[in-house]
Amino acid sequence: MTTHAPRFVLFEPTHPGNVGAAARAIKTMGFHDLALVNPVGHPDPEARARSSGALDVLESARVAGTLADALDGCGFIVGASARHRRLGMPELDPRECAAEVLRACAARPAAIVFGPERAGLTNDELDLCQALVYIPANPAYSSLNLAAAVQLIAWELRAAQGVVLDTPPPESPPAGVEDMDLFYEHLERVLLASGFLDTGNPRNLMRRLRRLFNRSRLDQNELNILRGILTSLAPGSGRRDWTGPP
């Protein structure tokens, strides 16, 4: 894991709502280090509203008068660019950016710098950057909202941290292959007795039914329910070899 948190730097953002939404985006992905360079109207009620439950991130943002001040203490600096630029520095996609930023954070905080909504970063700001991150958006309309771009980059950082789905254990364990076989035998008996299956050649249809139920990866409870249904549907005094959940 990283030893420093990445810093998200908004350079001269003009819409306070975007600043609040960016704070929210950062916090939902587990980050907190936000810096603002000459923000228009900060702090602003609109920013507070859009930050939602990330008001702490918004209120603790460092506010700086220059980009250099906002980058204080950072080691690796990446500038976000909405278009390709020939600037003689590496151009990373968001996934590559996340990997590089996390690697750099082992030594010092790394920063991702986002430019103003309309204009993006100019060469003056990019002079402080060591790489560009470029979001390969729709060439016909590549204008991501500022907070949306922050969300996307923050998500890639979170995914690159190896955050994995912590799926809760199932309520019921998967059905075992032996129980599935008993179920299919039961099903076949019931369908033969009902006349649905041709006694002479039940194989093809049974195979299709097997595929259907195998695909659904039944758990033990579901299997018990199905066997209960079969028992309840068995025509006449069909052999009752199963009487209910254990």
Helices (H), the chain: 16-28, 45-51, 55-59, 67-70, 94-104, 123-126, 146-160, 177-194, 203-215, 220-233
**183: nearest Cα among 208, 213, 217, 215:** 213
Nearer to a second copy, 144 or 193 (CB): 144
Hey, what are 146's tokens?
């500022």
For a second copy, which stretch binds (CB under 8 A), given 38-46, 65-73, 146-154, 177-185?
146-154
Among 65, 166, 237, 243, binds a second copy (CB under 8 A): 166
Regarding 3 and contact with a second copy (CB under 8 A), the answer is no
Binding mask 38-67 for a second copy (x = CB under 8 A): ------------x-xxx-------------
CA distance 205 to 197: 8
Hey, what are 133's tokens?
């991150």
Among 3, 123, 124, 165, binds a second copy (CB under 8 A): 165
Which helix or strand (DSSP H or E) is residue 92 part of?
Answer: strand 91-92
Number of residues that bind a second copy (CB under 8 A): 46
Residues 184-243 that bind a second copy (CB under 8 A): 219, 222
Among 3, 73, 124, 167, binds a second copy (CB under 8 A): 167
